[in-house]
């Protein structure tokens, strides 16, 4: 069973049909919507500020989601995919975005809709990542517009993870 802990009396809350891997950690002021998945060794730590996560969000293996005390909570909208070992910290991720494997997204960043943060990118504090582009590098910069095919991927990937998580879920009577 996942490690789920209260911090200062506040327990995480999640919606219907969520998958929390048995060795993920979710603590404190975390609110998560429906059809989310939190994969193996992921940590969502709402201890020093809030973390709000929409529906259809997949938080892949080894991801860390945190925030900054009294300065920056973390808000993740619907249909967001956060790749393996990414760090998401005190920022806002809008709908239909992808944070690539090993990427770092720092405090007060805003990643607008239909944006891809490439694997290994480092998005520095206070950056606004404009909708419809790929950002890559360290520090991350706008590389090129995303294609129509990539827009479809951004909508499809969360649905794939809903399917994958169903493979781990045993429903009553099965």
Distance CA 173, CA 65 (A): 35
Cα–Cα distance between 158 and 37 in angstroms, integer?
9
Residue with tokens 């999640």: 14
Report pTM. 0.96
Q: What's the Cα-to-Cα distance from 3 to each of 34, 42, 100, 173, rounded to whole Å?
A: 19, 10, 25, 26
Closest C-alpha among 75, 47, 137 to residue 100: 137
Q: Are 83 and 103 in contact (CB under 8 A)?
A: yes
Q: Determine the Cα–Cα distance for residues 3 and 137; give it in Å rounded to an integer.
A: 34
Q: What is the pLDDT along the chain (174 residues), one digit of tens a residue?
A: 899 999 999 999 999 999 999 999 999 999 999 999 999 999 999 999 999 999 999 999 999 999 999 999 999 999 999 999 999 999 999 999 999 999 999 999 999 999 999 999 999 999 999 999 999 999 999 999 999 999 999 999 999 999 999 998 655 444
For the chain, report the end-to-end CA distance as a whole number of angstroms: 19
Domains of the chain, earliest start first: 3-166 (2.160.10.10)
Question: In Å, what is the CA distance from 35 to each residue of 86, 90, 93, 166?
Answer: 20, 23, 17, 10
């Amino acid at each position: 069973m996942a490690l789920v802990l209260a911090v200062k009396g506040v327990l995480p809350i999640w919606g219907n049909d969520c998958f929390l891997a048995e060795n993920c950690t979710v603590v404190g002021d975390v609110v998560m919507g429906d059809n989310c998945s939190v994969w193996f060794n992921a940590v969502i730590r709402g201890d020093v500020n809030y973390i709000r996560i929409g529906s259809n969000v997949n938080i892949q293996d080894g991801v860390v989601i945190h925030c900054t005390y009294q300065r920056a909570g973390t808000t993740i909208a619907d249909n967001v995919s956060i790749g393996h070992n990414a760090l998401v910290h005190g920022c806002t991720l809008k709908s239909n975005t992808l944070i690539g494997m090993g990427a770092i997204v720092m405090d007060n960043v805003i990643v607008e809709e239909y944006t891809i943060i490439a694997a290994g990118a480092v998005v520095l504090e206070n950056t606004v990542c404009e909708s419809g582009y790929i950002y890559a590098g360290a520090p991350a910069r706008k590389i090129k517009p995303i294609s129509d095919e990539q827009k479809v991927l951004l909508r499809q990937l969360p649905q794939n993870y809903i399917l994958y998580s169903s493979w781990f879920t045993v429903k009553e009577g099965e």
